[in-house]
Amino acid sequence: MSEPIRITLPLTEEKARSLQAGDSVLISGVIYTGRDAAHKRMVEGLDRGETLPTDLTDQIIYYVGPAPAKPGQPIGSAGPTTSGRMDAYAPKIIEQGLRGMIGKGYRSAEVVEAMKKHGAVYFVAIGGAAALIAKSIKSYEVLAYEDLGSEAHARLIVEDFPAIVAIDSEGRNFYEVGQQQYKR
Amino acid sequence: MVESSRALVGKLKGDKTMRTIEAVQITEAIAKLAVDANYYLTSDVFDALVSGQEKEESPLGKDILGQIIKNACIARDEERPICQDTGMSVIFMEIGQDVHIIGGNLEDAVNAGVAKGYTEGYLRKSIVGEPMFDRVNTKNNTPAMLHVSIVPGDKIKIVFAPKGGGSENMSTLKMFKPSDGVEAVKKFVLDTITAAGSNPCPPIVIGIGVGGTMEKAAFLSKKALARPLTVRNSHPDYAALEQELLVLVNNSGIGPQGLGGRVTALAVNIEYYPTHIACMPVAININCHATRHAEIEL
Ligand code: SF4
């Protein structure tokens, strides 16, 4: 395993395009959260001609619905959710300048096309490693859709958040590469 | 109504063969099980992850398994959920036929326990009250998925097995023709696992239910997941099939988190039941590395 690459946000297109499928990264800075319910509202807003609740240019969205924080903690356990549920909405958000997504699992061809076109990256965090990941999250602040509870749109400050580039901006897919190597 | 049920309680108390259990005892037990299951990974799953890490050939896969193990340790030491998806509350309850529950009805007692455990234990509430139109969160993780069976004796055994949505969504069921045979079933398992790929957070645990009717097969596949990973089916043919399927699945290359490797599944557990002469239902319920359960006997 090679040393992880450190990424400090915002993530410019140039930096995003330098990342390759299979790279391990440690992400620091501000990232945003949203799951399907929040994405649905964002896209419905865009369709009505509204702007996104947050400017996502060169930003990363983490697909997460954290567990509630215990007193004294910034956030409860917070691992990634299945990204495929956001596939219907992601291309429209990428068009708005979104540079990266963190989740788990496969993406649709439409999402990969949008990533290639606009220079975005798909990272995966370890699904179920939610207590470990929570340690890299320093603050949690709800920005919009508060009624969605743990599914609200929020702003996180992270330090050395561990992730892996699963699909890079050229569309190279590490799921395919990795699985092919070990298939018998 | 109240009067007459009180009278009945009196009568039953006089009957030496009945044991009374207060509904509130069930509530308290379930609240504790909800928290324990979500904070503490059981040793069978933990040990399987450790030996999986030793076996894993992919360096990235090894690293991922190491992080998953570390995560389980953090969850245990800091008493926080292993995974943020603390699941739908699947509960298997075996109630002795000589038990009389007093002071409330069973389902309410169970749901009160779920609400208490999920609220006081800082577990995520992941249930919507109506599945298709409004999808509004019930805010206390109720209702539970309660499976009750009545057994001989005067005890209540409760198994609490929270089930995450990511892995549940990858489950499948197929009504085979008996002539399709075991080869078709093996292919079905492999197709299901391949299609699921990275989504159910591999390494996974595979629960398979064979026989009965459609709903029985699905139930058995869920029940199979609650069996310790170290225990094989007592029927030699099914035990051999469990082992063979584990090898086949681990040859898929999917590996930890689907990023490639040798350890795709930790175990395959099969349960079977008699079925109709025309039928061979097979249900596959996938669980993730966060295969959680806790149990108690009252
Ligand atoms: S599949 Fe399991 S480990 Fe993965 S997010 Fe869901 S509950 Fe957590």
| In chain A, where the domains are located | 5-180
pTM summary value: 0.92
Q: Which helix H or strand E contains B63, and what residues bound it?
A: helix B59-78
Check CB contact under 8 Å for A183 and B251.
yes
Predicted-complex ipTM score: 0.92
The confidence score (pLDDT) of residue B6 equals 52
Tally Cβ neighbours within 10 Å of residue B63. 19
State how far the Cα of B6 lies from the Cα of A171, in Å rounded to an integer. 70
Put simply, the chain A residues between 85 and 124 with a CB less than 8 A from any chain B CB are 104-106, 124
- Confidence category of residue A123, pLDDT binned at 50, 70, 90: very high
Check CB contact under 8 Å for B75 and A131.
yes
Q: How far is A131 from chain B (nearest CA, A)?
A: 6
Is the Cβ–Cβ distance between B167 and B207 less than 8 Å? no
Q: Is B225 in the pocket of ligand 1 (CB under 6 A)?
A: no
Which residue owns the Cα nearest ligand 1 atom 8? A128
Sequence spans of domains, chain B:
10-38+83-163, 165-290
State both tokens at B21.
Answer: 């259990």
> What residue ranges of chain B have pLDDT lower than 50?
1-3, 7, 10
pLDDT in tens, A23-33: 999 999 999 99
Domain A5-180 CATH class label:
alpha beta
State how far the Cα of A158 lies from the Cα of A138, in Å rounded to an integer. 6
DSSP β-bridge partners for residue B209: B271, B283
pLDDT in tens, A48-57: 999 999 999 9
Q: Measured in angstroms, how far is the CA atom of residue B196 from the centroid of ligand 1?
A: 13
Whether A165 and chain B come into contact, CB under 8 Å, resolves to no
Whether A4 and chain B come into contact, CB under 8 Å, resolves to no
Q: Is B164 in the pocket of ligand 1 (CB under 6 A)?
A: yes
Stronger pLDDT, B229 or A184, i.e. the higher one? B229
Q: Can you tell me whether residue A111 is helix, strand or coil?
A: helix
Residues of A in contact with B123 (CB under 8 A): 67-68
Put simply, the chain B residues between 138 and 167 with a CB less than 8 A from any chain A CB are 139, 164-166
pLDDT in tens, B14-31: 556 799 999 999 999 999
- Confidence category of residue A148, pLDDT binned at 50, 70, 90: confident
The confidence score (pLDDT) of residue B149 equals 96
Based on DSSP, count helices (H) and strands (E) in chain B, helices before strands: 9, 10
State how far the Cα of B237 lies from the Cα of B220, in Å rounded to an integer. 17
Is the Cβ–Cβ distance between B209 and B147 less than 8 Å? no
The confidence score (pLDDT) of residue B11 equals 53
> B40: exposed, middle or buried (C-beta count within 10 Å: 0-12, 13-18, 19+)?
middle
Which residue owns the Cα nearest ligand 1 atom 3? A128
- Confidence category of residue A149, pLDDT binned at 50, 70, 90: confident
Check CB contact under 8 Å for B259 and A149.
no
Put simply, the chain A residues between 18 and 47 with a CB less than 8 A from any chain B CB are 22, 24, 37
Residues of B in contact with A178 (CB under 8 A): 58, 60, 253, 255, 258-261
Put simply, the chain B residues between 209 and 228 with a CB less than 8 A from any chain A CB are none
Could you tell me which chain B residue has the CA closest to the CA of A127?
Answer: B201
The confidence score (pLDDT) of residue B139 equals 93
Q: Is B41 in the pocket of ligand 1 (CB under 6 A)?
A: no
Q: Measured in angstroms, how far is the CA atom of residue A126 from the centroid of ligand 1?
A: 10
Check CB contact under 8 Å for B289 and A128.
yes
Nearest by Cα to B191 from B284, B269, B290, B265: B284
For residue A3, is pLDDT > 90?
no
